[in-house]
């Protein structure tokens, strides 16, 4: 690896404001805001709008589209072209 061309890689807290959930990981992202973590250390914090705790796919609240019903409704409305 060449020296001096890569961003700093260190611990960062990502905080999901919608679900009031935070997790500590390593990243190249930085922030001016900091937070004191459970271990007593202070880390930069990055606020995110959505994470696995609040995303509908992971929470099981995702809507399933009825594609068959949509096709039938289209065919009824515009007629089946032979």
Three-class DSSP category at 48: strand
Q: What is the pTM of this model?
A: 0.65
Tell me if 62 sits within 8 A of 49, measured CB to CB: no
Nearest-angstrom CA–CA distance, 42 and 57: 32
Of the two residues 67 and 69, the one the predictor is more confident about is 69
Tell me if 12 sits within 8 A of 46, measured CB to CB: yes
> Percent of the chain beyond pLDDT 70?
78
Band the pLDDT of 53: cuts 50, 70, 90.
confident
Of the two residues 4 and 52, the one the predictor is more confident about is 4
């Amino acid at each position: 690896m060449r020296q001096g061309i890569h961003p700093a890689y260190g611990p960062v807290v990502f905080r999901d404001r919608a679900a009031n959930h935070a997790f500590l990981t390593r990243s190249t992202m930085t922030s001016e805001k900091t937070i004191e973590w459970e271990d007593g250390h202070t880390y930069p914090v990055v606020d995110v709008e959505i994470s696995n705790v609040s995303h509908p796919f992971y929470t099981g609240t995702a809507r399933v589209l009825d594609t068959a019903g949509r096709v039938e409704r289209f065919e009824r409305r515009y007629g089946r072209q032979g």
